[in-house]
A and B are shown apart, each in its own frame.
Chain A
Amino acid sequence: MQQIINFLIRNRYLLLFLLLEIIALIFIIQSHSYHKSKLITSSNSIIGGIYNKTNNLSNYFSLANENQKLAEENTYLKNLLSKKKINIDSVIRQVTDTVYHQEYQYITAKVINNSYSKRNNFLTINKGLKHGIQRDMGVILPNGIVGVIQDVSPNFATILSLLNENSKINVGVKNSNHFGTLAWNGKNYEEAQLLDFPRRASLKIGDTIVTGGKSVLFPEGIPVGTIKSLNLRNNYYENITVTLFTDMSNLGYVYIVNNIDKKEIENLEKKHE
C-alpha cells in the first residue's frame, strides 16, 4: 500500500498529464462523430454571445457587400416571377390552390463566426431553438449551399460547413437524374469533390451541379457549382472537382431551410429498414 502511494506521489504530474490528455482525446473522438451532439461547441450562450457582440462591430464594414448581394438576389427573383406570368389567352388553365401545399420554409440568420481554413469547419449563427431552428436543417445562400445545422442552443446554432469531412451532400447534374455525393478533401475552400457518380451519367467540364432530390435537407435544384475537372478511367469517373458558387470565406446572412414534410418522409423511409 505504501509503495502504491509512493508511486502515485512520485508520478503525480505524469498521471495528471495522462488524465487530462485522455479527457481531451475523448472530446476529439466524440467531435469526429456527426451523430452525437458535441460537448465542445460554440453554440452555447457564452461563446455565441461573445461572437455576437464582436460581430455587431464588424458588421458595418460589410454592409455595402451585403446590399449588393441582396440586390442581385432581388433581380434573380424578379426574373423568376416574370417567367411565371400566366397567359390568360390559353384555353385550359389549371387552378391548383385547394391542393396547394407549402413544402419549405426559410429562416434568415446571420453568420457570427466563420471558419474555412481548417480540415473540419463550423460556422456559428445568431438564431437558435427560439427561432425555430433545429438539428439537420439545410443552410443555403441565394447562389449556393453552406452546410447543415448541427448543434442548437436557445439563441445560437452551429452549422456543419460543407467544408468538413462529415459533410456529405446529395447532388446531381442539372437536367439529369443522376445523383452523387459532394464531399471536401480539406485543401481548397473554393473547390469540392464529387463522389459515387454512376458511370452512365454523362459529365462534362462546365456542367452545373445542383442539389439532388434524394436529400430532405435541401430543396431540389439549388445551384452548387460547376465541374472544373474530371478524369475518366476504366469507364469510371475519378477526381471530379467542382468549383463552388458559394464564397465560403465571405458569408453574411444565410437562409435556413425548414422542410415541413421532413418528418413524414423520414418516418416513411424508416419503415423499409
Chain B
Amino acid sequence: MNNIFFSNTFRFIGLVFLQILIFNNINLFGYLNPYPYIAFVFLFPFKKERSVLLIFSFLIGLTIDFFTDSGGIHAASTLFIAYFRLYFVQLILRKSEFEYYTFQITSISVDKVLAYFFILILIHHFLIFSLEFFDIQSFFEILKRTLLSTIFTFLVTTFGYYILVSKNK
C-alpha cells in the first residue's frame, strides 16, 4: 500500500519535471512536442479507488497548465482519459482476461499494451489541440498536430515503458 503510494508520488513529480524541462522544449519541426506525462494515467494501479485516479490526473494536468500557461486544457484532457481509461481496457481485452481486482498492466501482452497506450494518447492529444485552437476552421491543423504528436508521444512512452517499467516487475 505504502509502496504504491510512494511510487506513484515519485512518478507524478518525475513526469512533471521531465515534461516541463525536457519534452516541452523539443519543438521538432518547430511545433511538435510529445506529452509523455500522461503515462501517469496509464500506469496508475487499477485496483485503487477510482476517485484518487481522477483527482491526481486532474492535478497533474493542472500542474502542466501552470507551467505552460495553457489555462486548463491539460487538466481537462488528462481527466477525460483518466475517466474513460477503464472502458478502453475493457474494449481491448476480452472479458475473461480482465478481472478488475487482480489486473496489472505488466501481465497483458505487448500488442494490447500498445493499443491501450495509443488510443488514450490519441484521444488526449485530440482534446488538447481542439481546446488549444478552439476554432473549427483550424480543423486540419488540429488533425495534423494530433496525429504527429500522437506518434511522437507514443514512441517516447513505449520506449520509456519498456526501459523503466516492464522489466522491474
Give chain A's interface residues, CB within 8 Å of chain B.
Answer: 12-14, 16-17, 20-21, 23-28, 30-32, 38, 40-42, 44, 47, 50-51, 54, 113, 115-120, 122, 124, 158, 186-189, 249
Closest A residue to B50 using CB positions: A13
Interface pair A30/B141, CB less than 8 Å apart:
no
* Contact (Cβ within 8 A) A42 B69: yes
Q: Are B68 and A42 in contact (CB under 8 A)?
A: yes
Q: Kindly provide the distance from the CB of A13 to the nearest chain B CB, expressed in whole angstroms.
A: 5
Number of interface residues of B (CB under 8 A): 36
**Chain B positions near chain A (C-beta within 8 angstroms):** 20-21, 24, 27, 30-33, 50-51, 54-55, 58, 61-62, 65-73, 75-76, 79-80, 83, 129, 131-134, 138, 141
Count of A-B contacts judged by CB separation below 8 Å? 108
From B61, B67, B79, B141, give the contact of A42 (CB < 8 A). B67
Cβ of A20 and Cβ of B65 under 8 Å apart?
Answer: no
Counting chain B CB atoms within 10 Å of each CB, which of A25, A158, A188 scores highest? A25
15 cross-chain CB contacts under 8 A: A16-B54, A20-B54, A24-B61, A24-B79, A31-B69, A31-B70, A38-B69, A40-B70, A41-B66, A50-B67, A115-B68, A117-B31, A118-B68, A120-B132, A189-B31
Of B24, B30, B71, the contact of A40 (CB 8 Å cutoff): B71
Q: Complex formed: what's the CA distance from A116 to B31 in Å? A: 8
Closest 6 pairs between A and B when the two form their complex, measured CB to CB: A31-B71, A27-B72, A122-B69, A24-B76, A24-B72, A117-B31
- Do A117 and B33 have beta carbons less than 8 Å apart? yes
Give Cα A73 to B51, complex, Å: 56
Contacts of A41 in B (CB 8 A): 66, 69
Cα-based distance from A21 to B55 in the complex (angstroms): 11
